Structure 1
Amino acid sequence: MSKKDLTQKTLLRLPDVFASLINFLIFDNCPVIHPDQICPLDIPAQFDYDFSLNPVYRDASAMVLDPNGHPSFIVNFENQTAHDPTMPIRAMGYTDTAYFWQRSQLIKSSRPSLPFSLSRFVLSLTIVLHYGKDPWKARSLHEIIHLEQTSLLKPFVSNYTMNLENIAWWDEERIASIGSDFRFIADYCVQMRKSSKAGRTRYDPPAGWKIEHVEETLMTLAAFSKDEALREGCWKYLEKFKLNPKKGETTMASVLDHYFEKKEKLYLEREQQY
């Protein structure tokens, strides 16, 4: 697993981040779901295995409980940094896997210890989070299998269109309203898209946003960033953060010092070469 993929999973699996994304994407950013309603799940894929033949788990999956602690629905988040023409089939498989997992729980005589009691099937949905600069059009199963060549069979084939979010095209004001550290990642994607279009690649971190999960957020930004100074600044801050027993409130302003310090150092080194 790549460092980028690993850090994305770590951030998304935090209950407050997971809940904030559900509220942002499904409930029009209303605080309907709270972190204590998020129960992370590790559901292995039906057909995906790594080189050691171990099952591959979804990027982030969780059972969402209702206010009374009963299972309400399952959400799967899948990270994508590039377009994949087979994604509707993959997303459909992730959703189906959650239903198969529910089936196995319902028919087992002895179930593993879970913080909830599953007595019926609940809705499962998958949302693909696309971090790339180029917008990606959500395609359907019918488009992939070219059903027009066998049009007589169309009434017998259920269509499936993946739920897709092009993060780099999210509205900046809405991003600022996200109630978790994921807003830093979304803001980064938007800035990279706009700066790339302008012919320069630059990221200016919001100085006033407080970071709740310093390590997970900065590690994700470091993995995403193509700016060597920003990447090294994030890692340098993390080293200092881990050694500091007084981990007080942290904002992006705390990281900016390292960012510009590294920028200035690189500039001086280049000047000395001439």
Structure 2
Amino acid sequence: MGEKDIAEKVLEDYNDVFADIVNVLLFQGEQIVRPEQLEDKTLRSSYKADGKLREIVRDVGKNWNQDTIRIACLGIENQTDSDADMPLRVISYDGAEYRAQLIRDISSQDGGDGDIISTKKRRDIKRYPVVTLVLYFGYEKPWSSSKSLLDRLTVSDALKPYVQDYRINVFEIAYLTPEQVKLFQSDFRIVADYFVQKRLNHEYKPSPQKMKHVHAVLQMMSIMTGDHRFEDAYNDAIRKEELNMCEVLDRVEKKGYDAGRIAGKIAGKIDVFYHELGMSVSEIAEKLTMTESEVQKILDESE
């Protein structure tokens, strides 16, 4: 898993954020899932194909336990573009979770040999559901790809009644209403608010809401928007435990202003050295500890 993939999932992996996303998107803001009921689960599962062992990796997954009984496995998948094969991907993730329920825990009291539990014993074992949420962050256009397995497959009319469908849960974050955004209680409200504002107004007016997981929010914003100034503002700032997006963007603007002012001073010096003092490009580069190509580029841009 690459650094980019990891960075975009850090925020959602916090239990308070994960629970908040599930409560708003599945239960209309009712506090059904509590952070303390969630536990991290293994995101990797393996299968064999073409004689080789292959791996399936879910973005973010949690086991939801209530009153010490596991009742669900919840997973989140992030998308910035519509993916036609998303139904196939989700069914593979969910299928791996259901298959795992058929495999006996090696630490079980029945001997611990890792074999499949007998049919008779399986009758008394409670099975739990698997729910996957696909979060789509595109704001320029709605999700346009398949939302079910049958939508993706080419199936004849004669065969179609016998092919089982599989519907996926796509939540278009930028297309939530402002009222829905207000239901979020965690840092995810800031993320959702950004994408909704970009869709509605094509610009962003920051919220005064304090961020609990500052670095994770800015990492996710940086990855999802392609604007690395969000993370740069954090890295360059004094690392407070809490910031709001107003403070972050103020620092972004100040950094841009400072960088522009410094660039302007350098360009002014180069102009004086070259045009008034008659220094060569190589002499200017040596004096300012720059490369000749950098000096030449500034001279070309000033003409």
- Give the shorter-chain TM-score range: 0.7 to 0.9
Relative distance call for 1:234 and 1:126 in structure 2 (3 A) is same
Q: Which runs of 4+ in 1 moved over 4 A?
A: 269-274
Aligned-pair CA distance for 1:141: 1.3
Partner of 1:167: 173
Aligned residues: 247
Partner of 1:255: 248
Query: TM-score if structure 2 supplies the norm length?
Result: 0.72
Q: Sequence identity of aligned pairs in percent?
A: 28
| Aligned-partner Cα distance in 1 for 2:54–2:236 | 34
Write out aligned runs for 1:79-118 (5 A).
Answer: 79-104=78-103, 107-110=104-107
Aligned-pair CA distance for 1:222: 2.3
CA deviation map 1:105-164 (0-9, x unaligned): xx23425xxxxxx952101111111112221144221121122xx222222211112110
Relative distance call for 1:10 and 1:54 in structure 2 (3 A) is farther
Structure 1 runs not aligned, ≥5 long: 112-117, 197-201, 242-246
Relative distance call for 1:228 and 1:205 in structure 2 (3 A) is same
- Do the aligned partners of 2:43 and 2:59 also contact (CA within 8 Å) in 1? no
What amino acid sits opposite 2:142 in the alignment?
Answer: P
What amino acid sits opposite 1:135 in the alignment?
Answer: P
Write out aligned runs for 1:1-274 (5 A).
Answer: 1-47=1-47, 55-66=55-66, 68-104=67-103, 107-110=104-107, 119-133=125-139, 134-137=141-144, 138-147=146-155, 150-194=156-200, 196=202, 202-206=203-207, 208-227=208-227, 229-237=229-237, 240-241=238-239, 247-268=240-261
| Aligned-partner Cα distance in 2 for 1:203–1:72 | 39
Query: TM-score if structure 1 supplies the norm length?
Result: 0.79
Q: Tell me the C-alpha RMSD between the 2 structures.
A: 2.7
Structure 2 runs not aligned, ≥5 long: 109-123, 268-301
| Aligned-partner Cα distance in 1 for 2:175–2:147 | 18
| Aligned-partner Cα distance in 2 for 1:261–1:229 | 11
- Do the aligned partners of 1:140 and 1:159 also contact (CA within 8 Å) in 2? yes
Relative distance call for 1:259 and 1:152 in structure 2 (3 A) is same
Aligned-pair CA distance for 1:100: 1.4
| Aligned-partner Cα distance in 1 for 2:235–2:241 | 18
| Aligned-partner Cα distance in 2 for 1:225–1:203 | 12
Q: What SS does the aligned partner of 1:152 have?
A: coil
Q: What SS does the aligned partner of 2:27 have?
A: coil
Relative distance call for 1:268 and 1:54 in structure 2 (3 A) is farther
